[in-house]
Amino acid sequence: MDALAERRALRGEVVVEAAARDLETLQVLAALRMAVFRDWPYLYNGNPVDEAAYLAEFLSDPAAVMIVARHDGRAVGAATASRLARQPAALSEPLVRAGFAADDTFYFGESVLLGDYRGRGIGHAFFDLREAAARAAGATACTFCAVVRGERHPLRPENARDLASFWRKRGYASLDGVTTAMDWKDRDRPISTFHQMQFWARRL
């Protein structure tokens, strides 16, 4: 973690680096998650208490890492990663069945970035630093999952961004038939519902 914290990727005036896993940083990441995931495609209607609890659990793994992008000291984006073996069964079991060893795989929890800062290479920096953390922990593969939304979803914007090409350029492939389901409350629904999540992965 100390070696990783020394690695910085400068993207214009934005600094991207590993961050301490203290309460203040967790609160900042919780706020970023709620702001970014409220938009397409997640449409997530979260609350700070649940967010902080989720992040504290996710980052309880000693090998976990949190990457933060800051502009003039203000957090504008963040990404997390930790060992697949420390994830709930809904995440680990589909991948284990697909041939990934939980102890040798790093799971990327989220990558959130405010809209004004997209297209500057910060997403690449998030992947670079998380993959470096995975290698430092002895992992041989990295994985993440993304929500699946229909083309005709009523809240789908006309200019919806498809990140599949970006992920493929990073060496990740969609794992055919490897999915899970996660529940959260969409901003246009009164209760939580389950959402299909597609896994992507690459070998290191």
| Structural domains of the chain, ranges and CATH numbers in brackets | 2-203 (3.40.630.30)
Residue with tokens 């999915």: 179
pLDDT of residue 21: 79
Which residues touch 168 (CB under 8 Å, ≥6 apart)? none
Return the sign of the alpha-carbon dihedral for residues 23, 31, 185, 84.
Answer: negative
12 pLDDT tier (thresholds 50, 70, 90):
low
> Which of 2-16, 66-80, 96-110, 170-184 bottoms out in mean pLDDT, i.e. has the lowest?
2-16
pLDDT in tens, 189-198: 989 999 999 9
pLDDT reading at 199 higher than 90? yes
pLDDT reading at 116 higher than 80? yes
Q: Which amino acid is at 192?
A: S
Diameter of the chain measured on Cα atoms: 46
